[in-house]
Amino acid sequence: MPRRAFFRGTAAALGSTLLPAWGCGGGASSQNPGSAGASAARSGQRIALPAAFSGDLGARRAEREVWSGTRTALWTLGGVYPSPTVRLAAGAAFSVRLRNDLAEPTNVHWHGLVVPAEADGHPTDLLAPGTTRDIAFTAPSRGGTFWYHPHPDRRTAAQVYQGMAGFLLVEDGVDRALGLPTGDRDIPVLLQDRRRRTDGAFTYAPGPMDTMAGYLGDVALANGTPDAYLSVSASPYRLRLLNGSNARVFRIGFDDGRAFFVVAGDGGLLERPATTSAFDLGPGERAEIVVDFSADPLGRSVSMRSLAFASSGMGMGGSQGAALSLLRFDVDRQAEAAPWRPPALLDPIARFDPAAARRRRPFLMQMGMPPSAGAFTINGRSFQAGRVDVRVPRGELELWEIENGSTEAHPFHVHAAQFQMVSRSNSPLGPHESGWKDTMLVWPNERVQILLRFDGPAGLFVLHCHNLEHEDAGMMLNLEVA
């Protein structure tokens, strides 16, 4: 297998054993669905892995068959949807030349990484059409599942919806030492909802009610595949889940209610694994789970779903909380590995001490009526280029208290740091919320406390709601680290 998954310019190349053994192409997998014997005609489409990054993240239009029989016009980074998976060794230098061949400005943000401000993709730091820009940064020292997407002020939602988003996986070897499933049993799964249309198009045309709830779809795609399935062996699998939806909250679970292990959150491995049968993954969040098919007889199908939940919101276009199919697993091969028994300790995390916080900062997220630009605020302010809203000193521990004063959930996201969650006012922390985080859901009428310290580069960054319609409508502040 060519080692094209790894950037080989300035990055330290990783061993080829990290590469999944199948599905490296952007299109249909070459694996033969009939090879398993027992299983008869299957519905749905086989999920593919995103293409491997090979140096090209150019922004340009392309098309692909998303729904079989129709071509979907896409906006891409690197010509494919999902965007190519970038794999980096922990601490490795990375550089890429971005080129914008779209008809409007764009940029790329490396979500979850702490990078120099000039590489971070600030919403007003844009590549004009026809221009190029060299970007360089260093991967974090801890492994994890990160991602990248465009971030232009007021256009992030449209660009992401039309196909621009990909994984950035950082590998530090700790997961391998723990015996977590690897190779073709370590699967990145980009989850995004879309509106199913007869013409197959990813038409992005939000109305006022879509701005309130966010642009919700009625079908979930897994790595760009609707009605997706994966043929698996009766073995444990590691799923790297990324919610790349504009606004959809997924309540991750399985149709038979089975329990699974949560082993990582936004910023890499948890200190200790958690066992659960359901948890909430908001837009921008990642979680890694290990689901074990060892006890399933050959021929069984098990589906990962977004479970229904009550939503107080006002969503119209397919309501928040509706049940959705995400990915079906067809168990059709003998075990390739023994059941995975998680160790008590995954990867130690030095906990911040709340008593050591130098200051407390409140943030209030609100939505006004009518739901237009300017009505979506944090601390009463709607995003304004050139105005610094929050100044944080480097190296000082802060306690932030984020309050949701509206009827919709808000996935709060901070650039330039990973944080630790302390408490939720109305519920316990979720199973993926015990480790490093960069994005978290704040439910209506909830207050969430987090601890964070900006140890990275100084400069201008942002914090914002990762419901992309809310973000584009102004629920974003300029954050200066000095």
Q: Which of residues 328-367 bind ligand C2O (CB under 6 A)?
A: none
324-333 sheet: strands from edge to edge: 45-46, 228-233, 324-333, 301-306, 250-254, 278-281
Cβ at position 95, least distance to Cu ion in Å? 19
465 binds, among ligand C2O, Cu ion, none (CB under 5 to 8 A by kind): Cu ion
185 binds, among ligand C2O, Cu ion, none (CB under 5 to 8 A by kind): none
Site stretch for ligand C2O (CB under 6 A), options 257-265, 274-282, 404-412, 461-469: 461-469
Q: Contact between 284 and ligand C2O (CB under 6 A)?
A: yes
- Binding residues for Cu ion (CB under 5 A): 111, 410, 415, 465, 467, 470
Comparing CB distances to ligand C2O, the nearer of 152 and 284 is 284
The residues near 173 (Cβ < 8 Å, ≥ 6 apart) are: 90, 143
Min dist CB 234 to ligand C2O, Å, is: 36
Among 6, 51, 66, 111, binds ligand C2O (CB under 6 A): 111
- Of these partners, ligand C2O, Cu ion, none, which one is at the site of residue 464 (CB under 5 to 8 Å by kind)? ligand C2O
Strands 228-233 and 324-333: parallel
Q: Binding to ligand C2O by residue 464, rule CB under 6 A?
A: yes
Nearest-approach distance from CB 414 to ligand C2O, in angstroms: 8
Q: What is the contact mask toward ligand C2O in residues 143 to 162, using x (rule: CB under 6 A)?
A: ------x-x-----------
Judged by CB under 6 A, the stretch of 207-215, 327-335, 428-436, 460-468 that binds ligand C2O is 460-468
Size of the site for ligand C2O (CB under 6 A): 10
Q: Which does 151 bind (CB under 5 to 8 A by kind): ligand C2O, Cu ion, none?
A: ligand C2O
Minimum CB separation of residue 415 from Cu ion in Å reads 5
In the bound state with Cu ion, the residue whose beta carbon lies nearer, of 331 and 465, is: 465
Contact flag: residue 470 with ligand C2O (CB under 6 A)? no
Pick between residue 168 and residue 304 the one whose CB is nearest to Cu ion: 168
Q: In the complex with ligand C2O, which residue's Cβ is closer, 305 or 413?
A: 413
Query: What's the residue count for the chain?
Result: 482
Q: What are phi and psi of 304, to 5 degrees?
A: -80, 130
Residues near ligand C2O, by CB under 6 A: 109, 111, 149, 151, 284, 413, 415, 462, 464, 466
